[in-house]
């Protein structure tokens, strides 16, 4: 099965990390590879609202963060979206 790279590059991606340097690095790497729909936040409490507005295809999520860790963020998303792929 062939992968449609153009469609893949249009995927909506959310980067979540409390370390701004990591966010900048991931944004730069994704932009270098021509990903066009990249959003980021350093505040894990914003993820649910952002995902509700944007329906991301991929969330790159740090596990160890203050306020909410990555597992807690995923639980919040699971409450809203269930076990969707």
pLDDT tens digits, 9-29: 999 999 999 999 999 999 999
pLDDT tier at 84, thresholds 50, 70, 90: low
The CATH number linked to 43 is 3.40.50.2300
For the chain, the domain total comes to: 1
**Coil/strand/helix, residue 16:** strand
Looking at residue 63, its pLDDT comes to 97
Q: Which residue segment(s) compose the domain that 18 sits in? A: 5-81
Helix axes 47-54, 70-81, angle to 10 degrees: 40
Q: In the prediction, which pLDDT does 30 show? A: 97
The structure's pTM equals: 0.87
Q: What is the pLDDT of residue 3?
A: 78
Place of tokens 């596990």: 63
Beta-bridge partners for 39 = 14
Q: What is the largest CA-CA distance in the chain?
A: 41
pLDDT tens string 50-81: 999 999 999 999 999 999 999 999 999 998 76
Q: Burial level of 35, CB count in 10 A (0-12/13-18/19+)?
A: middle
């Amino acid at each position: 099965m062939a992968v449609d790279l153009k469609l893949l590059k249009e995927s909506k991606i959310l980067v979540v990390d409390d370390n701004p340097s990591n966010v900048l690095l991931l944004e730069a790497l994704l932009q270098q590879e021509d990903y066009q729909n990249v959003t980021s936040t350093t505040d894990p409490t914003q993820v649910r609202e952002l995902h509700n507005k944007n329906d991301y295809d991929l969330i790159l999520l740090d596990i160890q963060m203050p306020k909410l860790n990555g597992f807690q963020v995923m639980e919040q998303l699971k409450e809203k979206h269930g076990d969707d792929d």
